[in-house]
Amino acid sequence: MTVKEATDATRPAVSVGMPVYNGQKYLRQALDALLGQTFRDFELIISDNASQDATGAICQEYASRDPRIRYFRQERTSSAQENFNFVLRQARGKYFMWAAADDLWNARYIEALYETLESDPACVCAQGEHQVIDAEGNPVGEVRAFYELEHPSRLRRIREIARGKTTHLFFYGLHRTALLQRHAVKPFHLVKKLANNSETRVLFYLVSAGTVRTNRAARFLYRAHKGSFSGKGVPVMGSLLIRTELIFTTAASVYQGSRSLYAALWAFCVSALFQTRASVSLLVRALLGRVPRVRESETS
């Protein structure tokens, strides 16, 4: 049965998409956290990007025990962006969330966010509080929650994202599937080999389409380690090129989400302001020899 052929009787309320590549180290922890959710009416779509470790065997083991799992193994390794898009295209549920194979979620994560979306038609995405953990699962910093993106003003929500003062982790929240499927995760043209910050245009699209609600009953544990995007350094020149491209591409994403030329122009202006200011600061520090490589969080 294809995605389009799925009926209401077979369609789950929520689709969870897990793109994974060589994720054996943390995969079991992530699968246990998802399959142990209090909310049961979901499908888990796993796209194995032609992993070369035990990822496939682990996925097949779990799929044999839980019929909610739909496991796909790609014939060849593609880009991370394409793997993220693949699980989104396969989604049949009313709501959708991405789940990285190295992150964790509390037991009420899906349930709390589902209730939030069901209660507010103007909300396009629901996020929980979040905390960064290290490779061993130890907390890094405090538990945080961001409410800025609940503001009714579209222009203010766009500004908050452009300023980089709020989290980008609502990318891993719960979204309205039909809305999200209209905007794919796209690679950057100027730095095609870097997956860092590919989610940024999706986030601008979402905040231009509606509000992002926060429910602290849901907690997301984002693992930062050497094998993750957040743990990889980005060359300074790559960061500068990403910032330059974002000035133009975020405006297009905002227009797609809002169908407002005014909102798109506003996105272009605020992105140009904050990205240019950050680029100048980064370039000065690089010239002084203080920034050999930039973490992903600095290119947000």
Domain that holds residue 54: 8-102
Under a CB-based contact definition with an 8 Å cutoff, are residues 168 and 125 in contact? no
The answer to the question of residue 274 being in a domain is yes
The answer to the question of residue 225 being in a domain is no
Q: State how far the Cα of 271 lies from the Cα of 238, in Å rounded to an integer.
A: 17
- For the domain that residue 63 is a member of, what is the CATH number? 3.90.550.10
* Domain end residue (candidates: 78, 102, 126): 102
Under a CB-based contact definition with an 8 Å cutoff, are residues 62 and 54 in contact? no
pLDDT tens readout for residues 91-112: 999 999 999 999 999 999 999 9
pLDDT tens readout for residues 149-208: 999 999 999 999 999 888 899 999 999 999 999 999 998 888 776 777 889 999 999 999
pLDDT tens readout for residues 259-293: 999 999 999 999 999 999 999 998 888 888 765 54
Q: State how far the Cα of 61 lies from the Cα of 100, in Å rounded to an integer.
A: 18
Residue 299's pLDDT band (cuts 50, 70, 90): very low
Amino acid at 148: E
The answer to the question of residue 92 being in a domain is yes
The answer to the question of residue 89 being in a domain is yes
* Domain end residue (candidates: 102, 133, 161): 102
The answer to the question of residue 260 being in a domain is yes
CA distances from 275 to 187, 208, 243, 278, 283 (A): 18, 19, 6, 5, 12
The answer to the question of residue 176 being in a domain is no
Q: State how far the Cα of 182 lies from the Cα of 79, in Å rounded to an integer.
A: 19
How many domains are contained in the chain? 2
The answer to the question of residue 261 being in a domain is yes
* Domain end residue (candidates: 102, 123, 142): 102
Q: State how far the Cα of 151 lies from the Cα of 138, in Å rounded to an integer.
A: 33
Q: State how far the Cα of 100 lies from the Cα of 138, in Å rounded to an integer.
A: 18
The answer to the question of residue 135 being in a domain is no
Provide φ and ψ at 275, rounded to 5°. Answer: -70, -40
Name the pTM for this structure. Answer: 0.90
